Amino acid sequence: MDCPHSIYDDPAIRNRYINHTVVNSTIPAVTTELFTSGTRNGTVANLLDIQFRAYNLANDWYVDNNATRAVGRLEVLPSMILNPGYYLVNGLVVDAFRGGIGIRNHTIPKGVALGATWTEDILWIIPETQCTNTNLSLHFSVNDGATSMAGDNGYLQDDGGFSDISPEVPQPPWNVGDQWKKVASTPQLKRSADILAWWNNQFVAQALNLTSSEKGAFYTEEFVTYGQLSSPGVIKISSMDGMFMDSLYYDKNSSAQMALANKFKDYGTGYYDDDRSVSGKPFMQCGYLYSIPEPQNLHLGQSWRPDPGSPWQQSLYTCASSVSATIKEVTFTTNGSTAFQALQVVKVQDKNYTAANLPLWGIEKVDPKKYQVWDVYKFWGLIDESVKGSPDVDVHKASKVYLPAAVRGPTLGNHMYDSFAAGGVFTAAWNSIYSLAAALGDVNEDKVPSYSGTSNYGLTLKWRQLVSQAAPGAETLLNLIWTDLITFTIVGTRTGFETMGDIQAATDDKNSDSLGVRPVHKHERSIRYGDIRYAIPAFVVGAFFLVTLVISLLMCCFQRRMWSALNHYMNQTSMGRAATQAMLHGAPDEISAYASTKVWSHQAKHIMLHVPPPPNKWNKKTSNVVEGGEPNTAQVSHRFTPVTKRHHPSDDSKRSRVAYTAVVEHSSADGSPAVERPEMRPLQQRTW
């Protein structure tokens, strides 16, 4: 059997094997062209842009005639569950808030000293889960052993799962033909979780031989093993198998009941793995989630410490999970460095569409007469409008698409058989979660890490936080585990520059290593208050300044005399006015003390004020300084040299301009002071 459109047609090789079971794993060009047609340009990835993070080389006589081929494998990386946020790892954008990954081979802009911000459209893979509380709680007590954390004395309590159960069989009826297989392309996750909870409670009641029950009633039979496998701080996840009871809740001695139990695990999903691979059925996986145990008497003050003999309880949820693909707008920022650590995610939001511009998704069609669900992983992705009429594609015009039905057997780790990561990884992760990630016996296989919390107290605290939110928290718990496993397994190779060769060639030699160009918002320096409380001092100063300004303006308007007085005193205390006022006081050329600045400067502009020469040019005879720097007052006598006065004709009047020389005090040799008073003596009058 070959993959659809296989190019393998060598009859000589085929005839070497019984039933011609040689498989060719080559992906035909017609298929790759079809499912990459919608992503030839831009940053949105397609299936071929999703690859395994690690792989091995393998050979198999039944595949590719024993040619060497790549086979993916799981390698565990540091978990991101404990720290909510958006994280960047090689090839992926990880949502550690609610779960989900974006496919992007990270690139960083160059030549932006302060950094930049930009937005890209990214292919986003989303885990979706809905859970229903069965209203049956499981109880145990901590073993009395001093060093043991194991449980003991397990029993089940009716919190309404039996007493309040509806007598009506939920629709679609599981036990009537194949009506339950009639599902739409959008999985009804909540309906499936509700149906599974109803049937689970019915089976448990039958196993316990109950005909009636009351809320609060408890049942100790069939729960010894559960008690022994339980422990505080540990969650459990399993398929719909009823393994919390000692004996399965179906008759293990009846072949019909055994067949019923085996098929019940897939009930609610809409298909069995051996069904014909028809179009329109989405993938779904179902199972139990045993919530994190909490102290039974927490309301009475019981501690979260697992003391010997302390009673504990945990809720039992039925959950249904699927995977969808969509396009999200992701805003990135960088601080100017080209280091990977400088790149951060600012925001992730759904892309807004109108009815006219909804994207076109395609899911591969195969011949249901030739292929069953477990035979093939179908291609899916964005397609171009020109190929929507192809007979090989099932077209969906919607904002998102659910991944097609796939086999529930393979898990991550040792069960990856080829290099087509996007075909089976996203569904195999759910298979790993519901069988290995937190197994009831706490035994993990196939390299799948344990998420039970047994050896990681951080996970225990995280599960306590989430399960306190009831069913929504249980759903987030499962989605985060799925995100973690996918992060370990795949890497994206899409940069968005793959088809920008012309732009790259246009770059200069200095940027010859650039991938291309993309519009960004460059960062510039600015000052702003991130927290308005830090602006309070500025507000206080601003308010004080504003009040002062208003008062000043009011004073200008209503206190004009005060401003006149202020102007007068400023004029009178200036050096020039003070000197001329003192020298000309009583003289005929005295300038009025109330003259304006313009008038005063006009009248006094030719008055010369002589000052003493610098100290090094003083006549030594005029001053006798004794040792110590003080003048010898015994040898000082005072005399005055009068100022000189010269009259100059006025340019605009007949008034003379007078130049004055200040009176200078001199010393006499005998130290007697001069008795004459200073006076003004005219020297010589000249007309200019």
Residue type, 65: N
Q: What is the pLDDT of residue 512?
A: 52
Asked whether residue 232 is assigned to any structural domain, the reply reads yes
Q: What is the pLDDT of residue 673?
A: 43
Q: What is the pLDDT of residue 261?
A: 64
Q: What is the pLDDT of residue 11?
A: 52
Average pLDDT over residues 434-459: 81
Same domain, 247 and 98: yes
At 497, the pLDDT band (50, 70, 90 cuts) reads: confident
Residue 360 makes CB contacts below 8 A (sequence gap 6+) with: 38, 382, 383, 384, 385, 388, 395, 396, 397
Asked whether residue 561 is assigned to any structural domain, the reply reads no
The span from the CA of 44 to the CA of 327, in Å, is 8
Asked whether residue 397 is assigned to any structural domain, the reply reads yes
* Residue 400, pLDDT above cutoff 90: yes
- Residue 196 is encoded by which pair of tokens? 């599974």
Q: Which of 452, 470, 502 is the last residue of a domain?
A: 502
The span from the CA of 376 to the CA of 388, in Å, is 22
Asked whether residue 392 is assigned to any structural domain, the reply reads yes
- Residue 483 is encoded by which pair of tokens? 């995100």
In 3D space, the residue among 599, 615, 597, 687 whose CA is nearest the CA of residue 648 turns out to be 687
The span from the CA of 192 to the CA of 201, in Å, is 14
Same domain, 372 and 252: yes
The span from the CA of 314 to the CA of 138, in Å, is 5
State the residue range of the domain holding 423: 11-502
Asked whether residue 578 is assigned to any structural domain, the reply reads no
Residue type, 670: D
Classify each residue of 306-328 as buried b or exposed e, where b means 16 or more C-beta atoms within 10 Å of its C-beta. beeebebbbbbbbbbbbbbbbbb
Asked whether residue 69 is assigned to any structural domain, the reply reads yes
Rg (CA), the chain: 47
> What SS3 state is found at 405?
coil
Same domain, 624 and 497: no
The span from the CA of 380 to the CA of 403, in Å, is 7
Q: What is the pLDDT of residue 490?
A: 94
Q: What is the pLDDT of residue 472?
A: 94
Average pLDDT, rounded, for the chain: 80
The span from the CA of 42 to the CA of 497, in Å, is 7
Average pLDDT over residues 156-184: 83
Residue 541 makes CB contacts below 8 A (sequence gap 6+) with: none
At 250, the pLDDT band (50, 70, 90 cuts) reads: low
Q: What is the pLDDT of residue 501?
A: 52
* Alpha helices in 338-470, H assignment, sequence order: 421-432, 457-467
Asked whether residue 127 is assigned to any structural domain, the reply reads yes
Average pLDDT over residues 170-190: 81
* Residue 377, pLDDT above cutoff 80: yes
Q: What is the pLDDT of residue 648?
A: 45
Q: Confirm if 427 and 209 have CB atoms less than 8 A apart.
A: no
Same domain, 289 and 421: yes
- pLDDT over 90, % of the chain: 36
Q: What is the pLDDT of residue 51?
A: 93
Q: What is the pLDDT of residue 568?
A: 81
3-state SS record for 109-164: CCCCCCCEEEEEEEEEEEEEEEEEEEEEEEEEEECCCCCCCCEEEEEEEECCCCCC
Average pLDDT over residues 9-14: 48
Average pLDDT over residues 645-669: 42
Strands 680-682 and 643-649 turn out to be parallel
Q: Which of 454, 484, 502 is the last residue of a domain?
A: 502
pTM, to two decimals: 0.75
Asked whether residue 361 is assigned to any structural domain, the reply reads yes
Q: What is the pLDDT of residue 502?
A: 46
Q: What is the pLDDT of residue 147?
A: 58
Q: Which of 455, 481, 502 is the last residue of a domain?
A: 502
* Residue 279, pLDDT above cutoff 60: yes
How many domains does the structure of the chain reveal?
Answer: 2
At 328, the pLDDT band (50, 70, 90 cuts) reads: very high
* Residue 629, pLDDT above cutoff 60: no
Which of 478-487, 609-618, 625-634 holds the top average pLDDT?
478-487
Same domain, 341 and 473: yes
Q: What is the pLDDT of residue 484?
A: 95
At 93-127, the pLDDT tens digits run 999 999 999 999 998 888 888 889 999 999 999 99
